[in-house]
């Protein structure tokens, strides 16, 4: 079917309009969930914090002067050492007089980069592995499953510590560690989905029409197996943030000069007893972001279940 | 059953071999060699050659690999670069500390998680249920090392109630020192076990709710049994199976936590040994601890598999 006739057909059936309405219902249902809305607000703040440098640059270029006038730099050392929270320094200052809030804002960037890049790479390798294993079965499945089983025996944090132990410290190595650590998780989830989808009638029908294996996997199986993987990615993302902060807290993460959530907490260890704000705010930030990611993930999962249920009732 | 166990056992051996082999080739694939790390960049080339010969690093890779496998079987991981002590001795002193911490954390996770789940399920939507749910969410989102830091601050620094650093053995030649051992482990164990307690609480809650909706529970009530008898004798026991299935995850989480919490509380266990040797580039120790941790995990999974087989008859009878 050509694209125009497809579009005409969709217009005939009012499909595109129904999709937009579907999205509205989706959004309305989501906004009714208080926890999910709380999570969304925190995550938006997190994204803004991660993009802070770019936002400040744009702000300076367009001469708006809101963000770029915020006076603090995460590396600038002031004269107010170990000062508690004040209006000027809402989260206090550390032992070198650096503003803790600024350091946490620039740490958001590292968490975001590591989580996004690490998990994207893991998905790019893990998802094809899982699809291939489930689709072909036999010895392909056996080899992939043996690999998954071995990696499954180790918690991801231990894998990451081992890999950093072997390859050394640094941002790339942390991303690489998260990439390797999560391959099995992606492969395992999608394999289960594909095994179920493979038995569906429409796959049999496509095969009867002579669709090639590659096209069947890419066009028919993969899109249908994706939603649970997207939902689970939110859980993985939360876990990856915890993992990265744990690694940097141990001093095994990115360069010690880069402020990250884990390293701000680690640097402050000698001063905890005299400066409570150094011990509390970094951990609080990690907890809020992880909690929010979990809330959003839960809401997405519930919405997806409902949508599948609805389409099975009203569809056909 | 026997065939199943045999298969799992062979797979465990294979997994240990695979980890050992990967570690061997990963470490050798890296730029820079351990001898340069030992003597530094300005080392005398003749000396470097001598050390390389002594360590067998000049032999062909397959020969090195053969000797490596042989030494692993004999549990000989060589000497630490800095301390010049056998790696295995350092691992031997570290193991009881890590196991003690993991054990106390496990007990805490069970003592908090299972009762919390039961209360949540039996008083569904009450203030207790909502409170437990909120705490479980926080417990899952809170990094264990941060909780450790807060516990040190509150109980060690502000209240001065408990020691916050180090480890004391449970036994020595003078007898048993339970309090000295336990008082140093309780705070790190809470920090390690909270996440697991949260998972256990959620799992127990849903398993209990599932069981409580069954017909035989209604029958038990109908024949006039008291509520605590129904809950404990009928519902709780039958809810345990799904709870046991998360034990593998719990175990992994605990050992995970142990690595980082040992550093927070300055307990010289396996985790702190590993982290310090990574930071100090003490490769023989890194390699030894990685291998040993791998064996521990694979062993733990093997034990969990056996437990499943006992709990779940379907696995027992299929092959």
Contact A279 B153 (CB under 8 A): yes
Contact A291 B138 (CB under 8 A): yes
- What percentage of residues in chain B have a pLDDT greater than 90? 9
Interface test with B, best of A43, A240, A246 (most B CBs within 10 A): A246
- Residue B12 sits at φ, ψ, to 5 deg, of -60, -45
Chain centroid offset of residue B15 CA: 18
* Residues whose CB falls within 8 Å of the CB of residue B48, separated by 6 or more in sequence, listed in order: B35, B36, B39
Note the pLDDT of residue A4.
Answer: 59
The residue among A300 and B54 whose pLDDT is bigger is A300
The first and second tokens of residue A215, run together, are: 């096209």
The beta-carbon neighbor of A150 closest among B15, B140, B142 is B15
Nearest chain B Cα to A265, which residue? Answer: B146
* Residue in the block written with tokens 């095969």: A207
Residue A314 has pLDDT above 80, yes or no: no
- Phi-psi category of B273—alpha, beta or left, where left has phi over 0 and alpha has psi -120 to 50? alpha
Q: Which residues of B touch A (CB under 8 A)?
A: 11, 14-15, 18-19, 23, 26-27, 30, 137-138, 140-143, 145-147, 149-150, 152-153, 157, 252-253, 255-256, 259-260, 263, 274-275, 277-279, 286, 290, 293-294, 297-298, 301
DSSP B79: B
Q: Specify if A315 maps to a domain.
A: no
- Give the span between the Cα atoms of A280 and B83, in whole angstroms: 37
What would the mean pLDDT of A157-175 be, rounded to a whole number?
Answer: 85
A294 Cα to chain B: minimum distance (Å): 8
Return the minimum-mean-pLDDT range out of A55-59, A176-180, B115-119.
A55-59
**Do residues A38 and A295 make contact, with C-beta atoms less than 8 angstroms apart?**
yes
List the CATH number of the domain containing A215: 1.10.3720.10
Cα-based torsion angle of the residue sequence B86, B92, B98, B101 in order, rounded to the nearest 10 degrees:
-140
Q: ipTM surpassing 0.85, yes or no? A: no
CA atoms within 13 A on the CB side of A263: 20
Give the residue numbers spanning the domain of A221: 111-282
Note the pLDDT of residue A288.
Answer: 93
**Do residues A254 and A192 make contact, with C-beta atoms less than 8 angstroms apart?**
no
Q: Which of B121, B139, B166, B90 is closest to B253 using CA atoms?
A: B139
Q: Specify if A152 maps to a domain.
A: yes
Count contacts between A and B (CB, < 8 Å).
107
Note the pLDDT of residue A70.
Answer: 62
Residue B270 has pLDDT above 80, yes or no: yes
Note the pLDDT of residue B133.
Answer: 87
Note the pLDDT of residue A13.
Answer: 53
Q: Specify if A215 maps to a domain.
A: yes
- Give the span between the Cα atoms of A235 and A109, in whole angstroms: 19
Return the minimum-mean-pLDDT range out of A69-78, A114-123, A243-252, B48-57.
A69-78
Q: Specify if A178 maps to a domain.
A: yes
The first and second tokens of residue B316, run together, are: 């027992």
B92 Cα to chain A: minimum distance (Å): 19
**Do residues B255 and B296 make contact, with C-beta atoms less than 8 angstroms apart?**
yes
Task: Residue A185: list chain B partners with CB under 8 A.
Answer: none
Q: Looking at mean pLDDT, say which of A105-119, A247-261, B248-262 comes out highest.
A: A105-119
Q: Specify if A45 maps to a domain.
A: no
Task: Residue A155: list chain B partners with CB under 8 A.
Answer: 252-253, 255-256, 297
Note the pLDDT of residue B105.
Answer: 93
The beta-carbon neighbor of B279 closest among A238, A251, A282 is A251
* pLDDT digits 0-9 by tens, B7-31: 888 888 888 888 888 888 877 776 6
Interface test with B, best of A159, A162, A283, A299 (most B CBs within 10 A): A162
Residue B202 has pLDDT above 50, yes or no: yes
The residue among A83 and A248 whose pLDDT is bigger is A248
Q: Which of A190, A152, A178 is closest to A239 using CA atoms?
A: A178
- Give the span between the Cα atoms of A163 and A177, in whole angstroms: 6
**Distance linking the first and last C-alpha atoms of chain A:** 20
What would the mean pLDDT of B281-294 be, rounded to a whole number?
Answer: 83
**Do residues B170 and B181 make contact, with C-beta atoms less than 8 angstroms apart?**
yes
Q: Specify if A306 maps to a domain.
A: no
* pLDDT digits 0-9 by tens, B304-319: 777 777 766 665 555 4
- Give the span between the Cα atoms of A260 and B310, in whole angstroms: 46
The beta-carbon neighbor of B143 closest among A245, A269, A273 is A245
* Residue in the block written with tokens 């080899």: A143
The beta-carbon neighbor of A165 closest among B140, B290, B297 is B290
pLDDT bin (cut points 50, 70, 90) of residue A315 is very low
Task: Residue B196: list chain A partners with CB under 8 A.
Answer: none
- Give the span between the Cα atoms of B51 and B138, in whole angstroms: 53
DSSP A69: T
Q: Which of A298, A184, A188, A181 is closest to A242 using CA atoms?
A: A181
pLDDT bin (cut points 50, 70, 90) of residue A176 is very high
- Give the span between the Cα atoms of A131 and A127, in whole angstroms: 6
Return the minimum-mean-pLDDT range out of A177-181, A296-300, B272-276.
A296-300
Q: Specify if A153 maps to a domain.
A: yes
Interface test with A, best of B134, B146, B273 (most A CBs within 10 A): B146
Task: Residue B150: list chain A partners with CB under 8 A.
Answer: 279-280, 283
The beta-carbon neighbor of A252 closest among B145, B147, B278 is B278
pLDDT bin (cut points 50, 70, 90) of residue A308 is very low
**CB neighbours (10 Å) of residue B222?**
9
Nearest chain A Cα to B298, which residue? Answer: A153
Nearest chain B Cα to A145, which residue? Answer: B11
Contact B149 A291 (CB under 8 A): no
Domain count of the fold of chain A = 1
* pLDDT digits 0-9 by tens, A261-304: 988 888 888 887 788 888 889 999 999 999 999 888 888 877 76
The first and second tokens of residue A12, run together, are: 């005939």
Return the minimum-mean-pLDDT range out of A119-128, B41-50, B191-200.
B41-50
Contact A283 B143 (CB under 8 A): yes
- Give the span between the Cα atoms of B257 and B102, in whole angstroms: 9
**Do residues B274 and B245 make contact, with C-beta atoms less than 8 angstroms apart?**
no
Query: Which run of H or of E encompasses B172?
Result: strand B171-172
Contact A250 B15 (CB under 8 A): no
Q: Which residues of A touch B (CB under 8 A)?
A: 146, 149-150, 153-155, 157-158, 161-162, 164-168, 238, 242, 245-246, 249-252, 265, 269, 272-273, 276, 279-280, 282-283, 286-288, 290-291, 294
> What is the secondary structure of A74-101 as a DSSP string?
TT---S-TT----SSSTT-B-TT--BHH
pLDDT bin (cut points 50, 70, 90) of residue B37 is low
Task: Residue B30: list chain A partners with CB under 8 A.
Answer: 166-168
* pLDDT digits 0-9 by tens, B223-248: 988 888 888 888 887 787 777 777 77
- Residue B142 sits at φ, ψ, to 5 deg, of -80, 125
Task: Residue A290: list chain B partners with CB under 8 A.
Answer: 140-143
Task: Residue B143: list chain A partners with CB under 8 A.
Answer: 242, 245-246, 249, 283, 286-287, 290
């Amino acid at each position: 079917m050509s694209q125009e006739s497809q579009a005409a057909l969709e217009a005939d059936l009012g499909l595109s309009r129904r999709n937009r309405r579907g999205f509205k219902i989706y959004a309305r249902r989501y906004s009714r969930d208080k926890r999910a809305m709380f999570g969304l607000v925190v995550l938006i703040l997190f994204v803004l914090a991660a993009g802070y440098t770019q936002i400040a640059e744009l702000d300076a270029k367009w001469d708006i002067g809101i963000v770029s006038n915020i006076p603090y730099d995460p590396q600038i050392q002031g004269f107010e050492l170990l000062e508690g929270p004040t209006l000027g320094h809402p989260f206090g200052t550390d032992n070198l007089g650096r503003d803790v809030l600024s350091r946490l804002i620039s740490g958001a960037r590292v968490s975001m980069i590591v989580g996004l890049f690490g998990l994207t790479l893991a998905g790019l390798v893990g998802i094809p592995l899982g699809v291939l294993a489930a689709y072909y079965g036999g010895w392909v499945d056996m080899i992939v499953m043996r690999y998954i089983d071995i990696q499954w025996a180790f918690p991801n944090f231990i894998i990451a510590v081992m890999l950093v132990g072997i390859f050394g410290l640094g941002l790339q190595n942390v991303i690489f560690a998260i990439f390797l650590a999560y391959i099995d998780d992606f492969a395992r989830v999608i394999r289960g989905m594909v095994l179920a989808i493979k038995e569906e009638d429409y796959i049999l029908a496509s095969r009867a029409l002579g669709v090639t294996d590659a096209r069947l996997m890419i066009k028919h199986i993969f899109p249908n197996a994706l939603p649970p993987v997207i939902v689970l990615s939110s859980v993985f993302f939360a876990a990856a943030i915890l993992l990265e902060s744990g690694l940097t807290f141990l001093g095994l993460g990115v360069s010690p000069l880069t402020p990250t959530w884990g390293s701000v907490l680690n640097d402050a260890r000698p001063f905890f007893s005299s400066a409570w704000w150094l011990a509390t705010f970094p951990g609080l930030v990690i907890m809020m972001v992880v909690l929010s990611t979990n809330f959003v993930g839960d809401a997405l999962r519930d919405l997806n279940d409902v949508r599948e249920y609805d389409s099975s009732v009203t569809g056909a | 059953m026997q065939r199943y166990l045999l298969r799992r056992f062979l797979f465990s051996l294979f997994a240990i071999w695979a980890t050992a082999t990967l570690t061997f080739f990963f470490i050798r694939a890296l730029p820079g060699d351990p001898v340069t790390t030992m003597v530094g960049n300005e080392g005398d080339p003749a000396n470097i050659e001598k050390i390389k010969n002594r360590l067998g690093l000049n032999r062909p890779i397959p020969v090195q690999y053969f000797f490596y496998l042989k030494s692993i079987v004999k549990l000989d991981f060589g000497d630490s670069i800095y301390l010049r002590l056998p790696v295995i001795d350092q691992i031997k002193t570290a193991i009881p500390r890590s196991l003690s911490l993991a054990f106390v954390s496990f007990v805490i996770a069970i003592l908090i998680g299972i009762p919390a789940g039961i209360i949540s399920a039996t008083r569904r939507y009450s203030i207790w249920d909502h409170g437990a749910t909120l705490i479980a969410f926080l417990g899952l989102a809170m990094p264990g090392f941060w909780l450790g830091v807060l516990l040190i601050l509150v109980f060690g620094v502000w209240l001065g109630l408990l020691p916050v650093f180090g480890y004391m053995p449970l036994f020595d030649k003078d007898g048993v020192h339970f309090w000295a051992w336990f008082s140093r482990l309780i705070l790190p164990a809470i920090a390690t076990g909270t996440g697991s307690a949260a998972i256990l609480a959620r799992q127990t809650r849903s398993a209990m709710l599932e069981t409580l909706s069954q017909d035989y529970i209604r029958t038990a009530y109908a024949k006039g049994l008291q509520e605590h008898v129904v809950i404990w004798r009928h519902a709780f026991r039958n809810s345990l199976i799904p709870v046991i299935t998360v034990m593998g995850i719990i175990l992994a989480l605990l050992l995970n936590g142990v690595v980082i919490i040992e550093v927070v509380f300055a307990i010289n266990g396996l985790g702190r040994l590993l982290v310090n040797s990574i930071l100090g580039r003490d490769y023989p120790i890194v390699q030894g601890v990685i291998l040993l941790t791998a064996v521990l995990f694979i062993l733990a999974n093997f034990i969990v598999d056996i437990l499943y087989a006992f709990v779940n008859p379907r696995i027992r009878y299929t092959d």
